[in-house]
Each structure stands twice: as C-alpha cells, then as structure tokens.
Amino acid sequence: MTTRAVMGVDSSTQSCKVEIRDMDSGVVLGSGAAPHPPAFPPSSEQHPNEWVGAFVAAARAAMSACTATPDVRAISVAAQCHGLVLLDEHGDVLRAAKLWNDTTGAPNLARLVDRIGARQWVMRIGTLPTAAFTIAKLAWVAEHEPGLLDRVATILLPHDYLTFWLTGERVTDRSDASGTGYFDSVEGQWIPSYLEVAGGPRDWAAKLPTVLGPADAAGRVLPARAAELGIGPDVLVGAGGGDQHAAYLGLGLTDGDQYFSIGTSGVVATSSRGPVFDTTGAVDGVADMTGGYLPLMSTLNAARVVDRAAVLLGTDLAGVAELALAAGPTRGPVLVPFLDGERTPDRPHARGAFADLTSSTTREELARAFVEGPLLSLLSGRDGLIACGVDVSGAATAVGGGARSPATLQLLADLLDDEVTVPDVDEATARGACIQAAAVATHADRAGLVDLAKRWQPEARTRVQPRRHGRDLGGLRARWAALAASPILDGGER
C-alpha cells in the first residue's frame, strides 16, 4: 500500500534540504540535500534559479531515498528570511536576490529610519528594521538600479519564490512578511506607504503577494513542476514560512520555551500570543507560523566564528571544542564576535575584537573565547526579550550546526546555569515545513496545526547540565556588554 506523505523544504543560505514524512505518524521516509553557491557579506547575493536547481536535486534525492515511492499529498517551503526577489510581468527574475546578510543597504536603511521615525516604525510593525530587512535592499536597488524598478511587477521573499515556482501563485505568510519592514502583522496588512519612502511613488500594493493564514493552501503544484520533482499530480502547497519560524514549529515548542539556533546566523527566540514592541530595536517582534508571534533576536556572527577559530588556531572544529573545554577557571579573555559587521546590535560596519589578553593567555582560553563570543551575543538578546516582558522561563533548546559542538552546548548551559537540550532531529526547519504541509493536506485549522506539532515533537538527543566551573560569569557578561557597546569596533578597515 502506498504511504501518504508530505514534503518539507528548507532553502537556507548554504543549501536546500528536503524531508519526506509519513503524513500520519511524522516518521521520516526519505531526505536529500543540495548546495547553494556561497555568498558572503557585504554584497551577498544568489540567483533564485540556483534555489530551484537545488530544490529539484534535493527533492529527487529524498524521493529516491524512500524504500517505496510515497504518495506526496502536500508540500511546504521554508527559507531564509528577508531576501529580495524581483519579478517582471512575465514572472521572470530580474536580478540576483539580495540575501538576509547583504549589508549594502545599511546607508539606505539609516535614511529610512530618519524619514519614517524609529519609534513609529517599531510601534507599527513590532520591529526596528536593520540592513538585513527587505526594505533596505529595495531602497538600495532604487538608488543604484532605478531603471530596474520600472520593470518590477512582483516583490517576493525567497520562500515565496519557490512557492511561486511550484504553483504560479504570488503568496506569502505572516512569519516571513513580518521581516520585510513593510507589513503590519497585528492588522494583517501591507504598508505601501513605507515602500514609497524607500522607492518612490508607485502602485506598490499591486506588486505585493497575498498573505495567507497558517494552514491555508497556496495552490497546487503545476504538472510540469511535479514532473521535475518526481512526484504525482494534484499536490497541495502550503503558505510556507521563514526558516527560524518553521524550526520553532518543527520542534513543537511553546510560549516561554527558549530557542537557541546556532548556525550561519544566531537566533534566540520564544513564542507569545500577543505582539511585542521593542523601541530599542534589539528584539524583532515578528509573527510566527501559528497565528501568534515569535519575538527574537538575531545575529550575523554565530557558527562561522568557530570556523574561523579552527583556522587561526591550526586545528579543526573538534580540536577547538576540546581546547575550549580544557580552559581553566579564568574569566577571560573576551571576544566580541562582530567579524562581518553585526545585525543586532545594528552595527553593519563593526569588526570583531579580543580583549583581556595577557602574557599568560593560553590556546585553550582563546578557543573558549571564540566559542563563547557568539553565545554572549545571544544571551544579550535573551536579556532584551526579558526587558520587553517576554516570558523565557521554559526549557532551553539548542539547534543548528553549532549545537553539534560539545563546547558550545556546555558553555551555553554554564552561561544559563540551566540544562540545555538538543532535540533528536537533524533538520528542524524542514520538519516544521512538513508539519504545515500535513496540516494543509488534512485541512486542519490553526489549532489543529499546533496539536500536530505537539504530536510530532521530537525526543531529546542530548541533555547538558551546567558545570561547577568557578568562573565569574556575571563579570564576564558585564565586560562583554561594555566592549560590545564600544564605538571603536566601527573603526576597523578590511
């Protein structure tokens, strides 16, 4: 008998990963992955055609990995947030997409904040946009490629584009729309007037996708696309969502749970039923994929910092972890890890800095500082959530490539003085997309989507307890905060 299944897609900065799961039990039937071309700030771009090619390759690999050909009933796509995809009237891509970590629009964003007003912007959309946000990239295009805007018929986000490729429908969801800088998630409305500030007077409303609800169907997979993917006909497609939002859904987390994602970017988040408005700009009060909100803080510099440590210390990632865990009870040295500029705080031109080096500093202490620096950034973000009145009293969960490091997990548990759990799941984002797809396939409502996520919640793979380490972590955090606020970090040259 053919197994009813769903397909979840995670189109990240580095690659496209696809999972196929049993629609009823959530068991993985097959998975596949394919790389995207590398992209680095400040000018970080990928062509959407590259995403399509990787999606097709990953989907075919996932289908081939199944022991029997599954009957795929629905697909949902989650992807990197904030990217700018511009289509002409025929639905063709006009230029390579500017990605979330493209910081070239920083000067444009600063001018937008001056014109719109920081407080007004936060109180309208729940977030003070940074150079990562879509509106900054659109403003950059308006300044540097003004003729291109005359040809723009549709503005999409990365996950929207893959949904469009599948269905021909121009749609998005609340979670990803809330990271554009021009969507009011409380009212559920686009704000075309902000786009006029960024790109001049045009019929912006006509260029924006329809915003769907958490379990709404975007449409059905076009026959030609189904053939490319190797799936059958009449497959529904969900609204999709942002990658971190899908990961939170995929882990079955709930309000107050602490979510730490340590990958290319770093994220600390929890969910809430009500909106969050942080006028300091530290917390993004974005929407989630269940009809609520996912207040979060996101950083540019996370796992790559440890990659750089391996190069500089002449070892590999396992070697960095071993060194870091062997460091003595000293407080420092301290690393502010703004290696490629930073998103939170909004410091696009900042550079990283070491402090408190002495003639007795060891390789072990340097390794620990490299691992600890990105975690201190995330703990600063957690402080921001607390300052906004957000409950973060729940369990701490760590995901992402960085969470494979025993040093990262141990140092995070030490800093939190609490247990850190790594769920038994390799691809939380693709898993969340599968959950949404299953809700769409079964015509579930929002409550049904949440119940499904709980039923599919993974078990713990690893639990790490804090150590009795003898370090002055309060002093470490205070020292890091003072260094991170220093304007001298913005004075470096490449």
What residues are labeled active site? 243
Instruction: Compute the residue count for the chain.
Output: 494
By C-alpha distance, which of 149, 13, 133, 12 is closest to 84?
133
Task: Output the six-digit token pair for 313.
Answer: 């210390």
> Tokens 């022991």 — which residue?
67
Measured distance CA(84)–CA(68) in Å, rounded: 38
| 55 close to 16: Cβ distance less than 8 angstroms | yes
Contacts of the segment 179-182: beta carbons below 8 A, 24+ positions apart: 179/81, 179/82, 179/127, 179/133, 179/134, 179/242, 179/284, 179/286, 180/82, 180/133, 180/134, 180/135, 181/112, 181/121, 181/125, 181/127, 181/129, 181/133, 181/134, 181/135, 181/136, 182/125, 182/134, 182/135
- For residue 11, which amino acid is it? S
Q: What is the CA radius of gyration of the chain?
A: 22
Paired strand residues for 266: 262, 299
Token pair belonging to 110 = 């600063």
Token pair, residue 398, equals 């760590």
Backbone angles phi, psi at 228, to 5 degrees: -65, -35
Look at the block and give the residue holding tokens 């260094």.
483
Residue 67 tokens, joined: 């022991």
* 342, β-bridge pairs: 347
Gap between the Cα atoms of 407 and 23, Å rounded:
36
User: Which of 109, 106, 99 lies closest to 40 in space, CA to CA?
Assistant: 99
Match 């998975």 to its residue by tokens.
Answer: 31
